Structure 1
Amino acid sequence: MQQLFVRYLQNCKLPAGYREIGPLTSEEIVKAQHRLIMSAQNLCFGEEIEALKSDKPIPMGSKLQPLNPILDTDGILRCDGRLKYECIACETRYPIILPKTQHITKLIIKNAHQLALHSGTNYVLSQLSGKYWILSEREAIRGWERECNECKRRNAKPVQPKMAPLPKYRLGGSLRAFTHISVDFGGPIITVQGRGRARVKRYLCLFTCLEVRAVHLEMTWSLHTESFLNAFFSNGIKKRYARKRVI
């Protein structure tokens, strides 16, 4: 929308035959972005910009004092670092200073966050640091991550279900083990039998006491009823615990 508005203002100053018509060019998009950045900088760093235009030192206590700010030919506030003689892009040597609270900063972070496929804070910061210097950049990036719906879905934690009350047969009964039991099967377990190393399936029959949570294991040859009854009556379980309730 800003790019269209800039073109409209330019076309109003030109005769009908010299007006720009058609899709926006990359130069128009860059110029519109610079206009928005300059507007945000003038709003937040007005005193510093006026001091630099007058060749005066920036005010003491300013947040920009450690950054050694400068103004480029377009009037954009940039950070002057120690990479002045490095053979890299000019925008990397002199990154644009952006305030944390302005809307244009949020849009730039949003675009870098989406291009990075919703990656972490450090990766998005590395993509932005090649062109911009955002004050409190980690806080600004994390602030947008908290607003991103895709990140909310990815980082959402499942709701812990509420556990039902214990059944009556688990409470107030006898303290004698295996008075009331539950039965379950596990497996199959592949075993090796004999010298020929024949591989056969075996299953595990699990008896659990419903009151003291004691566990008794028996091996069964199959899942048939006969195998379960052999495991149930083995080792005198039925004789020792005559009163059983199987769940």
Structure 2
Amino acid sequence: MNPILDNQGVLRVGGRLEQPTFATFDMKHPVILPKGHAVTDKLILYYHEKFGHANRETVCNELRQRFHIPKLRWAIQQAVKSCVWCRVNRCLPQTPMMAPLPVQRITPQLRPFSSVGVDYLGPVEVVVNRQWEKRGIALFT
């Protein structure tokens, strides 16, 4: 990395980008920050929130314009995992595990519908077109 100290005593990345006039001093010599430090983590969360809880590459590109952080993508991933807004708004529902099959379904030489149950319930009053009507319910199992 060839680190250098600037006029304020900040550790920066040295390099061969001395000649371009279009690049700022921060772009030529980004500040070196340690991974896993509290200030580094707060800075990553600030950029993550500043760009609207953006994806990892957007935050990585914006941070690399001014800072050099080792293992930056991993640090951003850890910051996104701790972001409450992202955890709430980007969660995906998990499908529940199916129950085990009953004995009747896996017993060999047992024909379908060999045991059927019928339950009848009623009368039950329901509203149809603002009028109460009586209905019956049949449940086949």
- TM-score between both structures, scaled by the size of structure 1: 0.40
Deviations 1:46-83 (A, max 9, x none): xxxxxxxxxxxxxxxxxxxxx11111111111112232
Alpha-carbon shift at residue 154 of structure 1 (Å): 4.5
Partner of 1:115: 50
Query: 1:78 and 2:78 equivalent?
Result: no
Per residue, is there more helix in 1 or in 2? Answer: 1
Q: How many residues align?
A: 116
Q: 1:177 to 1:145 in 2, by over 3 A?
A: same
Deviations 1:186-207 (A, max 9, x none): xxxxxxxxxxxxxxxxxxxxxx
Identity of aligned residues (%): 34
Q: Please give the alpha-carbon distance, in whole angstroms, between the structure 1 residues aligned to 2:98 and 2:2.
A: 60
Partner of 1:95: 30
Partner of 2:125: none
Alpha-carbon shift at residue 132 of structure 1 (Å): 0.6
Please give the residue correspondences for 1:193-232 in structure 2 after superposition, counting only pairs within 5 Å: none
Answer with 1 or 2: which has the greater Rg: 1
The DSSP-based 3-state class of the residue aligned with 2:54 is: coil
Q: Please give the alpha-carbon distance, in whole angstroms, between the structure 1 residues aligned to 2:36 and 2:100.
A: 50
- Residue ranges of structure 1 left out of the alignment (5+ in a row): 1-66, 181-245
CA RMSD in angstroms, aligned pairs only: 2.7
- TM-score between both structures, scaled by the size of structure 2: 0.67
Q: 1:80 to 1:160 in 2, by over 3 A?
A: same
Please give the residue correspondences for 1:1-247 in structure 2 after superposition, counting only pairs within 5 Å: 67-86=1-20, 87-167=22-102, 169-172=104-107, 174=109
Deviations 1:148-184 (A, max 9, x none): 122333554534424234356534364557878xxxx
Alpha-carbon shift at residue 139 of structure 1 (Å): 2.4
Give 2:39's aligned amino acid: I
Deviations 1:183-240 (A, max 9, x none): xxxxxxxxxxxxxxxxxxxxxxxxxxxxxxxxxxxxxxxxxxxxxxxxxxxxxxxxxx
Query: Would you identify which runs of 4 or more consecutive aligned residues in structure 1 move more than 6 Å?
Result: 177-180
Q: Please give the alpha-carbon distance, in whole angstroms, between the structure 1 residues aligned to 2:32 and 2:23.
A: 18
Q: Please give the alpha-carbon distance, in whole angstroms, between the structure 2 residues aligned to 1:120 and 1:132.
A: 18
Give 1:111's aligned amino acid: Y
Q: 1:178 to 1:110 in 2, by over 3 A?
A: same
Q: 1:102 to 1:168 in 2, by over 3 A?
A: closer
